Structure 1
Amino acid sequence: MRIGMVTEGGYPYVGGDAGLWCERLVRGLGQHEFDLYALSRSRRQEDAGWVPLPPQVSRVRTAPLWAAEDDGITYGRRARRRFAEHYGELVSALVTAGGGPGDHGEAVGQGRADGEADRFGSGLYGLAELARDEGGLVGALCSETAVRALERACRAPGASRVVREARVPDLLAAAGHLRQALSPLAVDWYEDDGLGAVDLCHAAAGGAAALSGLLARHFTGVPLLVTEYGAQLRAHHLATGADGTAPAVRALLAAFHGGVAAEAYRQAALVTHGNAHTRRWQERCGADRARLRTVHPGMEASGFAEAGESPEAADPGTLVWVGRVEPVKDLVSLLHAFARVRGQEPKARLRIVSTATGPDGAAYLGHCRALAAQLFPDEAEGPHAVGDNPVSFEEVGAPEAPTLAEAYASGAVIVLSSVVEGFPTGLVEAMFCGRATVSTDVGAVVEVIGGTGLVVPPRNPRALAEACVALLRDPERRARLGAAARARALELFTVEQNIAAFHGMYLEIVSHCPVRRVVLGETGEPLPFAAPAEAHVPGSWTGPPARVEARRATGSPAPCPTPMTTTEASG
């Protein structure tokens, strides 16, 4: 079959978010054909180029989110009136939903009211149809008409208190943010020679990617699959709360992103998530549980296979922490916990192995080194080299830890001490290596561990130390937990299970979607099952029909044209 994959700031860009799982999925499904539709986030991302693409990628089309271009079209009176009507309808739905950062979550949590969702969808699709018919949407979104429509909505009866307090600078800022957020409406992807030509549209993220998938479904009837490996709506809330955005602007943007999420969950054939935390956000936004699927991120296990097969190679007294050095990893609590461990197990060692450093990583790493010297003064004299101090600070690629697998393999117990965590990839890597783990109860940790490791509260050095000591003193328990962890990781978190899950969903969605082309027999009557699923598989599976007539039925989506041979950019 032919899959249209829509990404936002991700695959196929070299520096794209979540690009790795998309690439593995595309490469793993060589029997299908992929068209990539990529929204870029910055000029730097575009200049960095793409990753090498497999032959099953037949075309790539890109559009910038960061600098949507005005096509120079000026609306006449009728088009201006049409724009004002649809834009006004959209922002009217936002001002009644936008209760502000404090209470918007409650509004989203109960799902958008049917009337409010209808108004939001009507305004959204109306603007998309205007862009398709007339062009000029980017310029209209920057116009005085847009700002005045937003001001009228904010001052209208029924608007929430926080948006009624919006000042002129707030209105201008909100209009600018909405212009960027609505820019996917103006791209030319939604014709019969674009996303209308695919059998299924897979939005590889929420937000702008899901918005593009919604428009493909609206214009051409292509079934939509939405995948979210993180709660993107939550990320928007946190981002606008941390950058000093005015409360009125924050409320309007929260309402918009919540509206897009709710509409995507309502229209998608299936919605997938990577963990229970993301699923809860989806359910709070109105997603139907019957259409939710859990697909854990697929990770490459082969690099850790040797360590997993040789658990006896671990140093029985060594604790290992591996990850990106930043404050949310809470290495301070880990060091205090290790001081307690040393009080009970004097020969214990702690290796802190960094894979990278965050924006504040260098300063935080320096603070942790100073704390280690303070906690172990008698053993901190001299250079900080492996063997001179019970705590060593290392980097992956250095002689002490040439690879990630060797870093994990050196420890009897792998420790995760974070206070914030999404999907803990480092924990899964440790499980592939067959190592016993001690982790803090954050993010998807409990879901990933599933009873194969010890879990303690975050920011609790005493509990962390007690769990580490319990495993250091019990080698049989360590071996038992490590074997169980490896079996669980190989069953649930490999690339192969990820690819198989999506392949099954592709087939499920296509098998349930309405027939988009009508095949007529010699008598002129439609032939049932004349275009079976096998017709999409390369090869001579079906003979040519007697007569094929592609037509647009009343109220039905556009027909699926013959696969094109020309491409904008090939893999």
Structure 2
Amino acid sequence: MRICMIAEGSYPYVTGGVSSWIHSLIRQMPEHEFIIYAIGAQSKQKGQYKYELPSNVVEIKEIFLDAYIDEPGKWGHRFRLTSQQEEDLKCLLGGGGGVNWGNIFDLLRTEKFHVAADFLSSKDYFDILEDLCRTKYSLVPFTEMFWTVRSMILPLFVSIRNDIPEADLYHSVSTGYAGVVGALAKHIHGSPLILTEHGIYSREREEEIIKADWVKGYFKDLWIEYFYTLSGCIYNSADQIVTLFNRNKEIQIELGCDPSKISIIPNGVNAIDYANLPQAPDQDIIRIGGIVRVVPIKDIKTMLQSFALVKREIPNAELTIMGPTEEDEEYYQECLQMVGSLELQDVIFTGTVPVKDYLGQMDILVLSSISEGQPLAVLEGMACGKPYVTTNVGSCKELLNGVNDGIGPAGFVTPVMNYEPMAQSIIKLCKSPSLREEMGRNALERVSRYYKHQDFITSYQQLYALLGEGQQWPALASN
């Protein structure tokens, strides 16, 4: 079977998390051929792969959302749209109501437009936006509205106009642009479509936009509604939707997803791979670690602030942050400045490293993210028998506390963006070797029993086989 994996902002340009998940899935299925449809943010990423692609990857197609910057449109043309086409576009641009994505796909891929920017430079676009401003955004300056919506929608239009490789099955690993491309692939080629949603993409974008300085206050709702509209595209189009834990399923249903489509397939790790890792030679140091990309959504600043409090009570504590720093260089520099302003000692940023070289040496692991799905970093630490302190995001509470499984806690869960409770939890573990050992044992038992890598692979093998043969995927017991 030929499977097209559609990834946005992850594989193969970024390590860890969703990228590791994709890489593992492909490697464990040599019986299938894979096409990677990679959606990147910036054209400078082209060919800059962080992974050696498995031999069963037969094609990689790259598109970049900044491609529209160099795409000029012809101003002032009129394309004589039908009233239905105008209504569909108005819904997409923020007019409310359900978007008919099939009509949008057909219109934007028509030869009427030489390039996507042609429509957004047309009189038709001007008229639709003018009507939208008059009926819904009367207090917003029209010029600002014109350019804001244009910048918002043009990457989507460019994505829709790209060619889609033909495959037996399409698998989008998020909603957003990857979800729209998956729905487009099904629309063009008619093959089945799977969505795996690790974190809730639209909620993550909402959190980012609320905090963003680059979005003016009166445009925040417009941007947020836009990303929810993108998610709705694949929720409606997908044949099957996979999520990783029950709370995500509940949110998807709240957002309008058909419950009968949703199955739960947890992530998994091979616990045996994390046994007997190199241990730390010096036991006079309490080693605290974070397996994390240095980007804002991981909230490294809260981790640093909590460590500053830890350091006051545990002077022999050391913090090692294991993960790439180049993804957001500006944020990384801000983190380094915070280390300096807090006068912190014993903070190490390793950059990208083989995590197994470090994990065995850690006494405590920390995750300070603002948003997560079911983080592989937590599963890896649990497989290594290490206690974790995490924020209450994604499935972290379920991972550490279990769901009536008779196994004790594997760490502490603390509020998001609140460094004091995080620090107190870390200090409690620092002061009690017996508590660290107990929680580490619980972690290993839970991950060994409920989060097996082979179970994860087998579930997807069965899902691919059934959809590829046109059969209905049965509801999982975990539903």
Give the TM-score of the pair, scaled to structure 2.
Answer: 0.79
Q: Distance in 2 between matches of 1:16 and 1:76?
A: 46
- Alpha-carbon RMSD across the aligned residues, in angstroms, is 3.8
Q: Hey, what does 1:60 align to over in structure 2?
A: 60
Shift of 1:30: 0.9
Percent identity (aligned): 21
Kindly provide the CA deviation profile for residues 57-90 of structure 1, in whole angstroms up to 9, marking residues without a partner as x.
Answer: 233333333224769899997xx12367424433
**Residue 142 in 1 paired to residue 124 in 2?**
no
* Counterpart position of 1:154: 133
Asked if the contact 2:88/2:104 (under 8 Å) is kept, the reply is: no
Structure 1 residue matching 2:202: 3-state secondary structure = helix
Displacement of 1:278: 4.2
Give the structure with higher Rg (CA).
1
Aligned-partner Cα distance in 2 for 1:71–1:335? 50
* Residue 446, structure 1, aligned to residue 397, structure 2: yes
CA distance in 2 between partners of 1:36 and 1:464 (Å): 41
Residues 297 and 363 (structure 1), Cα distance of their counterparts in 2 relative to 1, 3 Å cut: farther
Give the match for residue 129 of structure 1.
106
Residue correspondence of structure 1 range 214-293 to structure 2 within 5 A: 214-241=183-210, 242-275=212-245, 278-293=248-263
Q: Which amino acid aligns with 2:63?
A: A
Alignment pair present for 1:420 and 2:370: yes
| Number of matched pairs | 447
Map Cα deviations across residues 362-398 of structure 1 (whole Å, 9 max, x no partner).
1122234x256xxxxxxxxxxxxxxxxxxx3345499
Query: Is the Cα–Cα contact under 8 Å of residues 316 and 472 in structure 1 kept in the other structure?
Result: no
Deviations 1:413-443 (A, max 9, x none): 4142626352444433321211233444444
> Which one-letter code corresponds to 2:414 in the other structure?
P
Asked if residue 19 in structure 1 is aligned to residue 31 in structure 2, the reply is no
Structure 1 residues 94 and 6, CA gap change in structure 2 (3 angstroms): same
Would the aligned equivalents of 1:414 and 1:430 in 2 still touch at CA under 8 Å? no
CA deviation string 1:291-342 (max 9, x = no partner):
223334455756532139x8x98949835233457644433233324544x5
Q: Distance in 1 between matches of 2:60 and 2:369?
A: 39
Deviation at 1:406, TM superposition (A): 5.3
| Matched residue, 2:341 | 367
Q: TM-score, normalised by structure 1?
A: 0.67
Give unmatched runs, 5+ long, in structure 1: 98-115, 343-347, 373-391, 515-571
Identify if the C-alpha distance between structure 1 residues 319 and 168 changes in structure 2 by more than 3 Å, giving closer, same or farther: same
2:157 counterpart of 1:182:
yes
Q: CA offsets, 1:78-110, max 9 Å, x none? A: xx123674244332465443xxxxxxxxxxxxx
The answer as to whether partners of 2:46 and 2:62 remain within 8 angstroms in 1 is: no
- Asked if the contact 2:386/2:443 (under 8 Å) is kept, the reply is yes
Q: What SS does the corresponding residue of 2:277 show, helix, strand or coil?
A: helix
| Contact 2:290 2:367 (C-alpha < 8 Å) held by counterparts | no
Moved more, 17-26 or 263-272: 17-26
Q: Which runs of 5+ in 2 are unaligned?
A: 326-330, 403-407, 473-479
Q: Are positions 1:352 and 2:319 aligned together? A: yes
**Any idea what SS the aligned residue of 2:67 has?**
coil
SS at match of 2:368: coil
Q: Is the alpha carbon distance of 1:478 and 1:266 closer, same or farther for their aligned partners in structure 2, counting shifts above 3 Å?
A: same
Counterpart for residue 7 of structure 2: 7
Is residue 2:285 matched to residue 1:334?
A: no
Q: Which amino acid aligns with 1:333?
A: S
Q: Paired residue for 2:174, among 205, 211, 214?
A: 205
Give the CA deviation at 1:29.
0.9
Q: Can you list the C-alpha shifts for 1:544-566, whole angstroms capped at 9, x where unaligned?
A: xxxxxxxxxxxxxxxxxxxxxxx
Which of 429, 433, 439 is the equivalent residue of 2:380? 429
Query: 2: distance between equivalents of 1:397 and 1:153?
Result: 47
How many Å apart are 1:185 and its aligned residue? 2.0
User: Which residue identity lines up with residue 379 of structure 2 in the other structure?
Assistant: V
- Establish whether residue 321 from structure 1 lines up as the match of residue 285 from structure 2: no
**Partner-residue secondary structure (3-state), 1:354:** strand
Distance 1:48 1:470 in 2: 40
| Cα 1:11/1:443, change in 2 over 3 Å | closer
* Deviation by residue 1:239-282 (Cα, 9 ceiling, x = unmatched): 43403323454333322321221231122112223455644442
Question: What SS is found at the alignment partner of 1:30?
Answer: coil
Pick one of 443, 447, 460 that aligns with 1:485: 443
